[in-house]
Structure 1
Amino acid sequence: MIINNIRMVLDDGVVSGSLEVHDGVIRHISTQQSRLPQALDGDNGWLMPGLIELHTDNLDKFFAPRPRVDWPAHSAMSSHDALMVASGITTVLDAVALGDVRDGGDRLENLEKMIDAVITSQQRGVNRAEHRLHLRCELPHHTTLPLFRQLVDKPGVSLVSLMDHSPGQRQFVNIQKYREYYQGKYHLSDEAMARFEQEQMENAQIWSDANRRAIAEECSLRNIALASHDDATEAHATESHQLGSVIAEFPTTEEAAYASHRHGMHVMMGAPNIVRGGSHSGNVAARRLAELGVLDILSSDYYPASLLDAAFRVAESDDNTFTLPQAIRLVTRNPAQALGLDDRGTLEEGKRADLVLARRHGEHIHVDQVWRQGIRVF
C-alpha cells in the first residue's frame, strides 16, 4: 500500500510526500510523490501515527447505556471499538474500575463482563483497534486488593492506576465540589450525603495506604506500568515516584505537575480539559500545564473524539508552546513510550503501520481514514 500526496507528521517536523506499507509495517517514507497508479491519494491531508489512548471510561456507556439497562456484551464492545477507530485511536487501554462503586452500581455488575469482552474480542481478532486493559484501583475500599489480585494476571493488563477519591484530598480538596459531584451522581439527600462522606473518610483511614503499597509492589514484580491519579501536592508526587509510578494521571495543581515532571513521570491530562477550556472539577487547566512545558500525554477520558481535537488545539494555541509534531506526540509517541510499546507511536520506517489520515473542514479536524497494521479499519 502506498499513500500519496500527504503531509506526514514526523517526530521532528511535517514533510510532504508519500509513505509505503508492506506486511503491516512502514517500509519507506519519501519526500517524493509516487507515480504508481495504485497509490492512494491522501488529498494533502495530515498523516499521523495511530492515536494511543491510555485511560478511557467510554466502555461503560455501551454496557450500561441507561440506568438498569444491561446491554449485550458483543454489541457493546463492537460499538465502543467502532467509536475508538472513528476517533483515530488504534491502541486503547479500556479502564475498568475496582472498588469505587456503591452496592448495585452498574460498573460493579458489569466488571467481569466488560473484562471478558475486551479479552475475548481481542483474542478472536474482531476488534478494529488493539484493546488492552487499565485497572483503576480505588484505594479506600476493602474489595479493591482482592479484586486486583483476581484480575491483574488477565491477558492484556498494561496499566494500573492508584486512585483515592475520598473527600478532602486530591481531586476533591474542595469539599463542596465533592458533595456536588457525588450528591448529583447518586441522587442523595443531604442526610444521606453526610453519611456517605463520613463512610468514605473512614474507609480511607483503614484501607488507602495499605492498598497503595500492596498494589504498587505487585505491579513492580510483574513489570506492569503504574500511574498515580489526581496528585495535588509535591508530597503526593514524591510518594508516587517512590512507589514506581511512570505516569501522573490528571495532577490537580501546578505544584503536583511540576514535581511529577521533575521525578521523570509522564504528566497526563484530559483532552476534554483542553477542548472545554478547563477542568470540570475546578482544578488546574491542561492548557496551563502545556504553557508551562509540563504536559506529556493527553487522554480522551470520557470523550474519544476529544483526543485529536485537543492535540491540534494545543498546536494552534496563541502561546505557540507546541509545534504540531510536539502536540501529536502527546497522543502517540509519549503514551507509547510510557508503556514501553516501542513498535508504534511514530511515523518511522520499521514501525507498525498504525496510521490516521485527517484534514481540516472549516474549524474542525476530521478523521478521514484509519489503518491498523496496514489494514484499513475506518
Structure 2
Amino acid sequence: MNKMILTNASVVTPTEMFKGTVVVGEDGMIEDISQSTSQVKGAIDCEGDFLVPGLVELHTDNLEKYFTPRPGVTWPSRSAVVTHDAQIVASGITTVFDALSLGDVVHGSSRLKNLEDMIGALKLAEDENVHRANHYLHLRCEVSYAGVLELFDALVDHPMVHLVSVMDHSPGQRQFVKEEKYREYYQGKYGFSDEQLVAFIRKQKEASALYSASSRHSIVDRCHLNDIPLASHDDATIAHADEARDNRMTVAEFPTTVEAAKASHQHGLSVLMGAPNIVRGGSHSGNVAAKELAENGVLDILSSDYYPASMMDAAFKLAKLENGYDLPKAIKTVTDTPAKSVGLSDRGAIEVGKRADLAWVKSEGDHPLIRHVWNKGLRVY
C-alpha cells in the first residue's frame, strides 16, 4: 500500500477538532497529523467533512438476524457472515465484537442451534481474510441457564474471544425490575397465553435461584485466569455495581438506573449504553434513558446493540444535546473508550502511531452520512 494523505478534513481527535491533514504510512499506521492543508499531488480532499476514527463496537446481536432472517429460516453461514460484515463497515465500524449468547431463556431457541455455525463461519472468514472489519467474539453468558458452564468451557479458549459478559434475564430484577415489562416483552415476543406466561415466569425464577450465583462465580474466575475482559449487564442497584467492582469487571453494560450507573462509573467501570437509546430518546424496556446518564456525566460508551447504523447517528446526536459532550467527547464513546476498556491500545483515536482505522463522514442536515471507511489504511467502504 502506498502512503495516503487525507487533507482538508475536520479531524476529530479525543480532545479537539481542527481543519487539517492526516498522513497514513505504507504500513497502515497514522504517520503524521497537522493543522494545515496539504498541497501534495495525490492527496485526497475531504472537502471539509469530518474525519473520525473507525468505530469500535463491543456488543451487537446483528449477526443473529442474518443466520435466522425469519422464524424457521436458516441462512447459509458464509453468506450470513459476509453480509453482516458489509453492514458493519457501512456503518463506520472497523472493530466489532460479535455478541453471541451462551444459553437462552426459551427452550429450542435458534440462538443455540446456530451458535456453532456462527462461530465457525466467523473464524473461517477471519482466517481467509474475507472480513473488511476486524471481528472478535463477545460471549454473553446467561448465568440462569442450566448448561451455560458447559457451553462456556467449550469456547473460553477460542482465539477470537476477547470479551465476556454475565447476565441474568430472569423476572423481577436487573433489566426487568418491573415485572410487568417482563410480561409485556416475552408475551409479545413469543405469544404466550396468560397461563403459559405464569408457568414461564415461575420456571425462570427457579432457574435463577439454582444456577446464577455459582455460574457467575465460575465464569468470572475462569476469565481472570485467561486474562479476558469482563462486563456486567443490566445492573440496577449499587449492590450490583459493587459486585461488578469486586469481580474486577471493566465495563458496565446497560445499567438500568442512574444510581447503578453512577456507582459503576465511580468504581472505574466504563458505563455502556445502547446507541438506539440516544437515537430514539429513551429505553425500549422502560429503564433509564442514556441521555440522562450523559447529563450526569456517566455515559462512557455507546453500542449499537441491535442496529449498527445507530452508533454514528448517536455520537453526532449526543454532541448536540445539552450535556457537556462536544463532538470529540461524543466520538470517544464509540471509539477510544470502548477500545481502551477491552485492552485494544492500537486503535480508537486519530493519533500518530495508531492504526489508520478511519471514517469520512459528511453532515447531511441532522444525519452523519458515511462516505468512506478505511481499515488500517485500506479502503473498505
Shorter-chain TM range is over 0.9
1:16 aligns with 2:19: yes
**Amino acid across the alignment from 2:357:** D
The 8 Å contact of residues 281 and 289 in structure 2, kept in 1 or not, is answered as yes
Once the two structures are superposed, the pairs formed by residues 34-183 of structure 1 within 5 Å of their partners are 34-183=38-187
1:357 aligns with 2:360: yes
Query: Who is 2:192 aligned against?
Result: 188
Query: Who is 2:335 aligned against?
Result: 332
CA-CA distance at 1:18 after TM superposition: 1.0
The 8 Å contact of residues 101 and 108 in structure 1, kept in 2 or not, is answered as no
The 8 Å contact of residues 231 and 250 in structure 1, kept in 2 or not, is answered as yes
* Whole-Å separation in 2 of the counterparts to 1:363 and 1:147: 44
* Candidates 350, 367, 371, aligned match of 2:370: 367
* Candidates 283, 297, 319, aligned match of 1:315: 319
**Amino acid across the alignment from 1:157:** V
1:219 aligns with 2:218: no
CA-CA distance at 1:117 after TM superposition: 1.2
After TM superposition, the structure 1 stretch with the greater mean CA deviation from structure 2, 98-107 or 68-77, is: 98-107
Deviations, residues 84-136 of structure 1 (Å, cap 9, x unaligned) = 00000000000000111423211111011011111111121110000000000
RMSD of aligned alpha carbons: 0.8
The 8 Å contact of residues 139 and 207 in structure 1, kept in 2 or not, is answered as yes
Query: Who is 1:205 aligned against?
Result: 209
* Candidates 26, 29, 32, aligned match of 2:30: 26
**Amino acid across the alignment from 2:351:** E
Deviations, residues 299-339 of structure 1 (Å, cap 9, x unaligned) = 0000000001101111111x141111000000000001101
CA-CA distance at 1:194 after TM superposition: 0.8
Structure 1 unaligned blocks of 5 or more: none
Deviations, residues 170-205 of structure 1 (Å, cap 9, x unaligned) = 000111100111111111111111111100000000
CA-CA distance at 1:14 after TM superposition: 0.5
* Whole-Å separation in 1 of the counterparts to 2:42 and 2:286: 52
* Whole-Å separation in 1 of the counterparts to 2:249 and 2:377: 33
The 8 Å contact of residues 101 and 107 in structure 1, kept in 2 or not, is answered as no
**Amino acid across the alignment from 1:363:** D
The 8 Å contact of residues 294 and 323 in structure 2, kept in 1 or not, is answered as no
* Whole-Å separation in 1 of the counterparts to 2:365 and 2:52: 20
* Whole-Å separation in 2 of the counterparts to 1:353 and 1:234: 39
CA-CA distance at 1:62 after TM superposition: 0.3
* Candidates 268, 274, 291, aligned match of 2:272: 268
Instruction: Tell me the secondary structure at the aligned position of residue 287 of structure 1.
Output: helix
The 8 Å contact of residues 298 and 331 in structure 1, kept in 2 or not, is answered as yes
* Whole-Å separation in 2 of the counterparts to 1:330 and 1:363: 19
TM-score scaled by length of structure 1: 0.99
Instruction: Tell me the secondary structure at the aligned position of residue 134 of structure 1.
Output: strand
CA-CA distance at 1:362 after TM superposition: 2.0
Query: Who is 1:7 aligned against?
Result: 10
TM-score scaled by length of structure 2: 0.98
Deviations, residues 225-272 of structure 1 (Å, cap 9, x unaligned) = 000000000001101111121100000001100110111100000000
Instruction: Tell me the secondary structure at the aligned position of residue 278 of structure 2.
Output: helix
* Whole-Å separation in 2 of the counterparts to 1:5 and 1:104: 54
Query: Who is 2:239 aligned against?
Result: 235
CA-CA distance at 1:357 after TM superposition: 0.5
Q: How many residues align?
A: 377
1:294 aligns with 2:298: yes
* Candidates 320, 336, 341, aligned match of 2:344: 341
The 8 Å contact of residues 62 and 76 in structure 1, kept in 2 or not, is answered as yes
* Whole-Å separation in 2 of the counterparts to 1:333 and 1:245: 18
Instruction: Tell me the secondary structure at the aligned position of residue 49 of structure 2.
Output: strand
**Amino acid across the alignment from 1:249:** E
The 8 Å contact of residues 100 and 138 in structure 1, kept in 2 or not, is answered as yes
